[in-house]
Every structure is written in structure tokens, then in C-alpha cells.
Amino acid sequence: MKKEIQFSLVYRDMWQSSGKYVPRKDQLARVAPVIIDMGCFDRVETNGGASEQVNLLYGENPNQAVRTFTKPFNEAGIKTHMLDRGLNALRMNPVSADVRQLMYKVKHAQGTDITRIFCGLNDPRNIIPSIKWAKAAGMTAQATMCMTYSPVHTVEYYVNLAEQLIEGGAQEICLKDMAGIGRPTMLGQIVAAIKEKHPDIIIQYHGHTGPGFSVASMLEVAKAGGDVLDVAIEPLSWGMVHPDVITIQAMLREAGFLVKDINMKAYMEARNLTQEFIDDFLGYWIDPRNSKMTSLLVGCGLPGGMMGSLMADLKGLHAAINANLEKRGEKKLSEDELLVELFQEVQRVWPMLGTPCLVTPFSQYVKNAALMNIFSRSMGEKPFTRMDPAMWGMILGKSGKLPGTLAPEIIELAKEKNMEFYTDDPQKLYPDVLPQYIKEMKELGWDRGQDDEELFEFAMHDKQYREYKSGQAKEQFNKDLAERMLKAGKEVPEELRKYIQSSPSVPSTPNTQNADDLAAVAYALYLSGKKPKEGIITLPEIHNTAWNHKYYTLK
């Protein structure tokens, strides 16, 4: 009898790996029935980390979006799944236990069946509590191992980790190959070892296409006994995203696996709708370079999903770094030279910082440390002099146990700063907060929402939720959209033109070359933990944080 392989469409991650925003509620309602009509998906990723936060950033309610998107799949018998970041839940920084626990009750009530729980440090202490809370709420707990390639992350390492997670109650295991650098044969060996001991455990593989291994990896995982593969559809498949279902289906069928047929008429309709959403507004935040694959990622191991923010960071700092080099009489760097230098610096500092898996938020931390080292070198400063508090939190153990060993110079630097290392359960550092949010919502006259979903959203994304409620988020988004449309040479709709008229102009000053230079310095200060004075200079985009759309200037 042929082994059946199921497909999961990662519609949420397709967008997140391409740009910044995800489709609106009305767009999700239109595309869901078409995805169902394709007939080849047993699962669809509908929501999770980042996607719900960016709803707030463009001024819409994420709870309504989740309910709208999951409902048709629930009715069709297609399982829905979300992504959560363990200790960080749906955001970039740690979350209290009571809010994490509430999340699973809310998401199950909203129609999400499976939660994919991961920790970038692969620390079981950050995952196992979520397994228990998810199961208690009625969800399927899919414990996730972040895959990477290093001397620390061996087959034995992952097999032992899977054992701990299954013993902790995991009903499924996901291999999250967020950078796509997992070597195919190694991934197959890991799956085979888990299946040998736990033949009934469902294993799902999620691999990005950036460095080019993912198609071979999917074949090896399938041959080793894997059950579900994450795929995408055009126009967002390939590049930094995921393999297309058409290619993977054809490959597996030829290899003797049982896979569902694809309704190509529905595929083309879903493809056209997705392109329509891009043309509507989402494409203004998609870097065209994200549609390309690059073998440069093999060495540095950075995930394709953060390439958009990485390129924005480079654009912001490029002018400042070259200005520093020019002052020192050194050769300026082209954008390509800077990109290669950044990749090499990531590769150098990654093991020095304890070899965390390069996935949100730790990929951002390591990338920021490398970028700030390059910036510091351009100024003649020592490396690691511009690390922000979040980076230090990871180094000191406040996010969990690092997989590898810190370099002696990092430990010494921490001692010089009188910092203390933490080895206890990181959750203890973040006390419960729900009572204070309940009290404030009552005082403000805000409804806690169906199944306490508004309470959850407020507690999870405090700043963004306040800006959503006040209307500030929608105003900021409209202004950003209007400016991007204008820059792209598109006709700006009447309702958005007022935002262009009210946009501040950048004054010329004797000490300022251009706005990008000021923004670069402001961004450098941000990454080094110093907040610039509020004013009129736009910061480069910082993907997935509360710093979007803010304006700063310097003295």
C-alpha cells in the first residue's frame, strides 16, 4: 500500500516570508473557498505569530480576521494551524504564563485546530507548558524543533529533543527548517529515528526555499516516514518562501507516494486572487529580491523570512557606514559587498553567541549584533559594543538555555557590565498580568470580546492594540501606503491624498547629507539601545516590532 503524504498550505507564512503585511479579512474570506476547491490540502496555516500583530498595525481587528479565515476550513474538514513562539507566544518578547494559557482557549474558540509551538533555543521548558495548555484548551499540540546546521545541532541532538517533547505530551512533531539550510539526508535520518520509536506520531516538515535544499529535503523526509509537507502557491512560492505544491506533488507521485490531485482551475484562481491582493496594497511592502533564491544563505543560516527586514536595515545603514569609512580614508562598500560582509559576520558571531537557532526573535538578535559590529568597525570601535537589552537577555539566559557555549569574550563583557547569568525557568521572570488588563479594560469601557479575545489581544500586543483602538494605527498605515504609492508612480486614491499633503518635509541642514543618513544613525542608535528624540526623520522599517511608522530626528 502506498504511503500517503498530505499537504499543508502555509498561506500565512507565504505573506510573512515575502513582505510585512497579510491580507485583510475581506480578502481572506474570498480566497478561502478557492483554496478548498483546489482539493489537495488537508491543512492550512491560517494565523499565528506576526500575522495577527500586523492586522493591528494596519488598523484592523485580528480576531475577526482569524474567525473569518478559519470558518470555511472548519466547515470543509480541513485542519487549520497556527504558529506560536512558546515563551514569546505571538510577539517578539516573553509573555506571562496567564496570557499564554489564555491564547490557546481563544484560538481554539476562533477555529484554530493545531498550534505549532516553537522556541528558537529549542528549550523544552519554553515548549512543554504550551503543550499542556494547548491540549487542555482542546487544540492539537504540535511541538516544533527549529532545524539548523551547526556542530551543536546534530541528528542525536534532535532525536533527544523529540523524545523530551513527546514525553512532555506532544501529539505531533514539526521540523521547522526556517532558513532551509537543513541538509536533506540529515533531516531524513532525524525523521526515521523518531518514527522508529514513535510510528504513530505525525511529523510535519516546514522548509523555506532560500538556499535551495528544500525540494530534496521534502523527498528525504517523505521517504523516511514524514506525514505532512508545507507548501506554497504562486505568485509567492519559491524565492525566500516555500516550494510550490505543483512541483512537490509531481515529485512525490513519481516517487510512488499517494498524494491528492490538484484542481488546476482553482489553483489559477487562487493564484490570481493572491496577485490581486499584492496589487491592492500588500505588494508595496514586498521586496522584489525576496522572490529570488540565494546560496549565500547556506553559510550564514539566516531565515528567508527576515530578508525583507534585513534589506531594509542595510539600506538604512549603508550610507552611514560608508560615510564613516570615507572619514577614515577607507574604501566604501557597495550594497553587495556590505551584504556579503554581513553574512560573513553573522557566520562568525553566531557560535560566539551560543549558536541559537536563527529564527524569530533570535535571528534578529544575531543579525543585529553582526550589523552593529560592522557599523562599529566603520567607526574604529571594538565589536559587541552596541548590543541592545533584548540581545543581552538572550545571552544571559532570560529567554532560555542557549544550545551552544558563549565565547569567553562575551562572558567577560557581561562581567564588565556587572550582568548576572540566569539559569532558572525563564517563565518565572515574567509574572501574570491579566488582572491589570482586565481592570484597565473595565475602566476604559472596552469590551473583553467574545471568548475574551479582545482581552487577549490587548494583553498580547499592548501598544499596537491601543493604537488600533485610537485609530492612530489606521492613520499611520494610510500615510505610509499613500507615500509608497506616490513613490511607485501609482495614482493615489482621493481618500489617501490628504496623508501626502500632511506629510512633513525634511529640512536641509549644514550637517545633514540626506534623510537616509539621519535615519541610518537613528536606527543605529535604536539597535544600540538608545532612543532618538522624536521628530521628523523616518526610521527604516523594523519588521515585526512596535517601531514601525515612527519619526525621529537627532540633536
Assigned C-alpha cell, 338: 556590505
DSSP one-letter string for 339-375 = HHHHHHHHHHHHHHBT---S-TTHHHHHHHHHHHHHH
Tell me 452's DSSP state. G
Quote the CA–CA distance of 477 and 350 in Å, as a whole number. 35
Quote the CA–CA distance of 224 and 195 in Å, as a whole number. 8
Q: 208: buried, middle or exposed (CB in 10 Å: 19+, 13-18, 0-12)?
A: buried
Residue position matching grid coordinates 490628504: 498
Q: What is the pLDDT of residue 429?
A: 97
Quote the CA–CA distance of 497 and 483 in Å, as a whole number. 9
Quote the CA–CA distance of 349 and 364 in Å, as a whole number. 13
How much of the chain is helix, strand and coil, in % rounded to 5?
55, 10, 35
| Half-sphere exposure in the Cβ direction for 258 (13 Å, CA) | 6
Total count of residues recorded for the chain: 555
Quote the CA–CA distance of 350 and 359 in Å, as a whole number. 12
Q: What is the pLDDT of residue 501?
A: 67
Q: How many Cβ atoms are within 10 Å of 244's Cβ, its own excluded? A: 20
Q: Is the per-residue pLDDT at 515 higher than 80?
A: no
Q: Are 5 and 227 in contact (CB under 8 A)?
A: yes
Q: Are 363 and 120 in contact (CB under 8 A)?
A: yes
> What backbone torsions phi and psi does residue 113 show, to the nearest 5 degrees?
-90, -45
**CA 262 vs CA 46, 207, 231, 241, 247: distances in Å:** 20, 21, 13, 20, 11
Assigned C-alpha cell, 195: 518514527
Say whether 123 sits in a helix, a strand or coil.
coil
> What backbone torsions phi and psi does residue 217 show, to the nearest 5 degrees?
-65, -40
Quote the CA–CA distance of 368 and 364 in Å, as a whole number. 6
Q: Is the per-residue pLDDT at 438 higher than 50?
A: yes
- H-helix segments, 396-514: 408-416, 434-444, 453-460, 462-470, 472-487, 494-501
Assigned C-alpha cell, 470: 485610537
Question: pLDDT tens, 257-300?
Answer: 999 999 999 999 999 999 999 999 999 999 888 899 989 889 88
Question: pLDDT tens, 358-373?
Answer: 998 999 899 999 999 9
Q: What is the pLDDT of residue 552?
A: 34
- Prediction pTM value: 0.90
- H-helix segments, 488-547: 494-501, 515-527
Question: pLDDT tens, 407-434?
Answer: 999 999 999 999 999 999 999 999 999 9
Say whether 144 sits in a helix, a strand or coil.
strand
Q: Considering the chain, what is the average pLDDT of its residues? A: 90
Q: Please give the sequence-ordered ranges of beta strands (E in DSSP) within 152-192, or none if there are none.
A: 172-177
Assigned C-alpha cell, 258: 499517494
DSSP one-letter string for 267-316 = HHHHHHHHHHHHHHTGGGG--GGGGS--TTHHHH---GGGHHHHHHHHHH
Query: Closest Cα to residue 303, out of 16, 53, 506, 41?
Result: 16
Q: What is the pLDDT of residue 274?
A: 98
Quick one: average pLDDT of 487-502?
88
Contacts of 185 (CB under 8 A, 6+ apart): 220
Beta partners for 353? Answer: 406
**CA 7 vs CA 4, 23, 244, 496, 527: distances in Å:** 10, 22, 11, 40, 39
Query: By percentage, how much of the chain surpasses pLDDT 90?
Result: 80
Task: Identify the band that residue 309 occupies on the pLDDT scale cut at 50, 70 and 90.
Answer: low
